[in-house]
Structure 1
Amino acid sequence: MQLFKPEKLLVYFVFVLLLSGCESLFFWPSKKMVPSPEYFNFTKQDRFFTSEDGTIIHSWLLPTSKEKRGTIFFLHGNAQNLSYHVANVYWLIDKGWDIVIIDYRGYGRSAGKPNFNAVQKDALAGYHALLTQHSDKLPIIVWGQSLGAAVAINLAANLPPEDLPQGLIIDSGFSSQRKIMQETLGKSWITWLFQYPLSWSVTTEYSPDEAIVKIKDIPLLFVHSANDPLISSSHAETLFELANTPKQLWISKQQGHITIWNNEEWRERLSCQLSNWPMLLPVEDACKPQNFDPAHKQQYYFSDIN
């Protein structure tokens, strides 16, 4: 017996999305943890903290064994959990950086269920936990990737001046939840007709293009691939144009979404850029000896590195 005809099932699917505001489509958590510390050969410390509403949130600290340069506070993308996403950042511990990576509620060992508002609170609570434990005077760089880039922008936009990080990396992020929803739905003939009504049901409360203009006096490094099939590099260009100085945009030709750091040359250039922080440099100059040029503070740069 056929309970639903395909066209009725599609209408039902769209109706559910409209009721939920499409918010659930942005979050794809997994509770299954993979053995990334063993696979990548790094040491981690499990840490837990409490979000504003009492939800218990899980995080990892990856301490560097080198001379410490600072701390990276990493906010990951929308799928899986921190045991997967740590692959994008663990390599910086060998460059002298401590890594703190958190799981939003519903991800991994964190309790609760994610939504835009709750995830922002989780990021803020994790950042405050880091500040409480931060005993040295070394820089804290907030690195947000994909969905985490939106979380990072909103986090920095709402911090008081005394709590601001020393830098922000916006990696493969979208400029607007509505825009990325509309673009994603427009890629399929099944959902093409619904791209505008569904995308307009998405909240603009945490839209990165509205939050980025509030960030001042923080060096901003935007990184994106021109060949990202999920989030067009036009989103990075939009955010870059809206952002206050100092700022820098690196565009890669790497294939795929959040795959830039699989490339050893790109890893090395980011490590060099972090060593030069807060001076921001074009990607091809990042590892060159620097005679400081003020023009480097805000330059769009398209790299020929693959």
Structure 2
Amino acid sequence: MKTNKSLLVSLFFSSLFLAIGWGCSSLLYYPSQVHYVRAENLNPSPETVSFQLKNKLEIQGWYFRSKKKPSRARVLFFHGNGQNRFAHFVALFWLVQQGYDLVIFDYPGYGTSGGKPTPSNTVESAVESIRYVSQLKPSLPLVVYGHSLGGIVAMRAVWELRSEIEPSLLVVDSSFLSYQRIARRVMSQSFWTWCFQPLAYLVLSDRWAMGQRMGDLLGIEKVIIHSRKDEVIPFDFGEAIFNSASSPKEFWVKESGKHHESFSNPEGMLLKERLLEKLNLVLQK
């Protein structure tokens, strides 16, 4: 009887552990396969581009050519944890009108990319997308921009490639350094998951997070953007990124605007001009 009871107890806690682990993972990824817009209805229309990961998983994305010729640089955009490129491209689509190519890929499991998202394969797809875009036009400067989940993915990918490819500018918008910390913060906001906060450190790994690696990106121009009113990723997470980063770096603090309003509210419109000015300065070097 004791053996059976011990087995039942072990099975119960194992099931609970796995359930919590799945829950933490679900806090990170909300992929969608919905085509929110049709490529042919956009002006300019994007070219569909793709590459394969080592396991033959296909990653697909869009390449928008600048409306102004010649293009000044390529901006590679890593989007957040919800929806897909069919929705997120809008955030930086305005750069296409300003002389910049815009490239956006979907992570595994998002949009038309195969597989399921994990911390490791999102970083792998980001690393390969940087390589892919760099090879398309080697002479054209590369800007890497990551928003929300895309921020930590972009940071880690740039770090992985630090001895191979150096972008002209790395922009990290409304992001975080640790999957464990952000999962714990999200869990603390729900009655149902509040008591499980400590387990975030057990069931969710920071193996593919950024940690303190921003200090290794010497010489790369870095801009950290975060709103004090961000309702998804608290402002102190942005401060932590800036404090961990090596120079040259700038911290652009927004006093207004929610998580997805980097460039859409009145203060965000001013931020557009500031980003264009920063790009001009960086590309003149």
TM-score (norm 2): 0.88
For structure 1, the residue ranges without an aligned partner over 5 or more in a row are 1-10, 281-306
How far apart, CA to CA, are the structure 2 residues paired with 1:258 and 1:12? 37
1:88 to 2:91 alignment: yes
Instruction: State the one-letter code of the partner of 2:216.
Output: K
CA RMSD of aligned residues (A): 2.2
Instruction: State the one-letter code of the partner of 2:72.
Output: R
Structure 2 CA distance for partners of 1:36 and 1:211, relative to 1, 3 Å: farther
Report if the CA contact (8 A) 2:37-2:86 is conserved. Answer: yes
Structure 2 CA distance for partners of 1:171 and 1:279, relative to 1, 3 Å: farther
Instruction: State the one-letter code of the partner of 2:276.
Output: S
How far apart, CA to CA, are the structure 2 residues paired with 1:36 and 1:264? 26
Q: Look up the SS of the partner of 2:255 in the other structure.
A: strand
Deviations 1:118-160 (A, max 9, x none): 111111111111122114x231011011001001111111114
Q: Look up the SS of the partner of 1:270 in the other structure.
A: helix
Deviations 1:233-255 (A, max 9, x none): 11111111111100000011233
Q: What is residue 172 of structure 2 aligned with on the other side?
A: 170
Q: What is residue 131 of structure 2 aligned with on the other side?
A: 128
Deviations 1:200-243 (A, max 9, x none): 42101122223322222101100011100110111111111111
Deviations 1:45-69 (A, max 9, x none): 1111111221011010010021321
Q: What is residue 256 of structure 1 aligned with on the other side?
A: 258
Deviations 1:82-107 (A, max 9, x none): 01000111100111110110001111
Q: Look up the SS of the partner of 1:59 in the other structure.
A: strand
Structure 2 CA distance for partners of 1:258 and 1:19, relative to 1, 3 Å: closer
Instruction: State the one-letter code of the partner of 1:185.
Output: M
Structure 2 CA distance for partners of 1:14 and 1:149, relative to 1, 3 Å: farther
Q: What is residue 50 of structure 2 aligned with on the other side?
A: 48
Q: What is residue 225 of structure 1 aligned with on the other side?
A: 227
Identify which range, 204-213 or 249-258, moves more after superposition. 204-213
Deviation at 1:166, TM superposition (A): 1.4
How far apart, CA to CA, are the structure 1 residues paired with 2:271 and 2:131? 30
How far apart, CA to CA, are the structure 1 residues paired with 2:114 and 2:153? 18
1:267 to 2:272 alignment: yes
Report if the CA contact (8 A) 2:65-2:101 is conserved. Answer: yes
Report if the CA contact (8 A) 2:27-2:186 is conserved. Answer: no
Instruction: State the one-letter code of the partner of 2:168.
Output: Q
Instruction: Report the identity percentage.
Output: 28
Q: Look up the SS of the partner of 1:277 in the other structure.
A: helix
Matches within 5 A, 1:267-286: 267-277=272-282
1:77 to 2:88 alignment: no
Instruction: State the one-letter code of the partner of 2:45.
Output: T
Instruction: State the one-letter code of the partner of 2:272.
Output: R
How far apart, CA to CA, are the structure 2 residues paired with 1:133 and 1:257? 32
Number of paired residues? 269
Q: What is residue 159 of structure 1 aligned with on the other side?
A: 161
How far apart, CA to CA, are the structure 1 residues paired with 2:254 and 2:38? 26
How far apart, CA to CA, are the structure 1 residues paired with 2:53 and 2:222? 26
Q: What is residue 216 of structure 1 aligned with on the other side?
A: 218
